[in-house]
Chain A
C-alpha cells in the first residue's frame, strides 16, 4: 500500500499517466496489499498456493466476510455503518431454521418469511437513521444489541439450546444446499460454490454503484447529503434502500451458512460486523462516506481470508492474527486519507 504514495507530479499536467489514474482508484491500495500478502505467504508455505490451500482461504474470504463486505461497502459509501450486519446474518439463518425444524413450515416459505423479516430490519435501521438524523453508529448499535438478545433468547426459548440444527432433515434441503452450499473439486481442492456467489455479488454491486442512477445517488448521499437534496436526489430513500440491501445480503449469507451445515449457533455473527467494515476500509472506502469501491471491499475480505489461513500454513501462532488485521487497517486508513486529500485538493 505504501507504493500508492510513491510519485505525484504536477496536477496541472493535462496528460494523466496510467499509474496516476490507477493510483486514485479507491481499490488500488487493496490490490497492491493483496498481491504483497499473497507473495509473502507463498514464500512462507507451499501449501498456501496448492489447490487445497487456495480453496481454503477463498472460502474463509468469501463467507460471511466477502459477500457481506459488498453491501457494507455500498452503505459506507452512502455515508453509514451497520453494526448490526453481523448479528443479522445469524438472525436470518436462525429464523429459517426455527420455522422449518421446530414449526414445520415449508423451507421455501420459511426463506420468504425470513427475507421479509430481514428487509423489515433493514428498513427500521434506515428509517430511524434518516428520520432522527442520529449517527447510524448509534442506531445500529442499538439494533446490534437488540438482535443479539433476540437471537439467543428466541433460540433458547424454542430449542432449549443455543443452536438451531437438524435443518438437513427438512424436505427440500438437499436442493437448496446444492445451490448455495455445494463444492466444486478442482485439482484436489474443494472450492465452495459460495466463492462464485461472492464474485457474482461483487460484480453486481460494482455495476450498480458505478453504472446506475442509484449508484450515483449513493456516492452523492454519502459525499454531501445537503447538496444532493438540493439537486433532487432522494437521499432518504437511497439510505433506507442501502440498509435494506445490507439486510437482504445478511439473509443470503445467514441462510447459506445454515444450509451448508444444517445448523447455526445463536451467538454467530457477533464481532463479524467489524470485520465487514475493516474489509470495506482496507478496500478504500472512506469512513465519512462518498468514496470507495465494492471491488476494493471484496479484495479487503480476500486479504483477511489469506492472512487468516496463511498464518496457519506458515506454522505461526494464529493468536497473532488480529495484530495483522489491526496493522493492515491502520495502513489502509492512512492510505485513504492521502487519497482523499489528493481528491479534494483545491486549485484555487
Chain B
C-alpha cells in the first residue's frame, strides 16, 4: 500500500486552530478531453453539513470519487486539518477518516444486520485455528451504535434486505461512524426514497453532525439540502455555480439556481397564470423537474 502523503504530527500544535476538517482548493479533474470538474472549492467543518447540489452530469460523482480516493485531482489540492493530503486508494481515504456511503450502500441484503455491520472488519476472539468471529460483541455493538443514532432495531439478526431504504441507509451510516469516520460522504442518500423515509435519513444526517462529524451530503434536491446544510456547493456541468454559507443564500434562491434557469421558472409561471388548478400543476411541474433532475 502506498504511503499517504500526510505530514501528520499530532503533538505539534496546529498553526490554525480553526482549520476546517477538509478543504477542497481549486480542484480540477479531466478525463481525456472531457473536463469533469473545473476549479472547485469548498470546505467542510467538523459538526457541519456541506451540501453538494447539482443535476445529473454536474460532476457530483467525480467529486465524491476525488474525495474518497478513487481518483486523484489533476490540479488543486485537498487539505485535511489544514494539511495537504493525497489519497492513492479508497483504503487510504478511509484510514484518514473519510468514509463514503455510496448509493448501493455496500450492504449484502441476505445477511443479517450485525454481519453486515462488521463485514470486512470482523472482531475476533480465540487464537490459532480457533480464532472466530465474536458474534456476541458484534451484535451488542451493532445494537448500541444503532441506538446511538436514534435507530431502534427490531432484531439485529434480521436480514438487511428486510429493512426499508431509510433503515438500510442508517446501517451504512452507523457503520461508518463506528469505524472512526471523521468525515462522512453521503451519495444521494435520499434520492430513491419516499418523503417520510427521506425525512428519516435527514434525521440521521443531523445525528451524525451532532456527534461532531463533518458531513458531505450529495443531492439534487434543494428541499432536502437546505434544512440540514450549513454550506452549499452548487455544481453545473463540472463548474461551480457558487459556494455559499447558509446565511448567504435562501431556499428560493438555491432552488432557482438549481433549477438552472429562467426557462423552467418561466414555464411554471405561465402555467400558474392560467388559474388556480393549472397553477398548482405549474408548481408541481417545477417541483418535479427539480426532484427528477
Contact = CB atoms under 8 A, between A and B. Distances in A.
Interface of A: 11-12, 14, 16, 207, 211-213, 215-217, 219-220, 223-224, 226-228, 230-233, 286, 290-291, 340, 343-348
16 contacts: A212-B133, A216-B133, A219-B111, A220-B111, A220-B119, A230-B90, A232-B91, A232-B120, A233-B119, A343-B110, A344-B109, A344-B110, A346-B164, A347-B162, A348-B164, A348-B194
A340 B110 CA distance: 8
Contact of B120 (A212, A226, A233): A233
A143 B189 CA distance: 44
A168 B88 CA distance: 60
Interface string B84-109: 00000011000000000010111111
A106 to B, nearest CB: 28
Contacts of B161: 343-346
Given A219-B115, A348-B165, A227 B135 contact: no
B133 A215 contact: yes
B39 interface: no
A219 B110 contact: yes
B162 A344 contact: yes
Interface of B: 90-91, 102, 104-111, 115, 118-122, 124, 131-133, 135, 154-155, 159, 161-165, 167, 194, 197
The 9 A-B residue pairs with the shortest CB-CB distance, nearest first, are: A232-B120, A223-B108, A231-B120, A344-B161, A230-B106, A227-B106, A213-B122, A224-B108, A290-B110
A168 B164 CA distance: 63
A291 B124 CA distance: 22
B133 A291 contact: no
A274 B167 CA distance: 40
Contacts of B90: 230
B170 to A, nearest CB: 13
Most chain A beta carbons < 10 A, residue from B119, B121, B197: B119
Nearest to A21: B157
B128 to A, nearest CB: 12
B105 A227 contact: yes
A348 to B, nearest CB: 5
B162 A223 contact: no
B102 A230 contact: yes
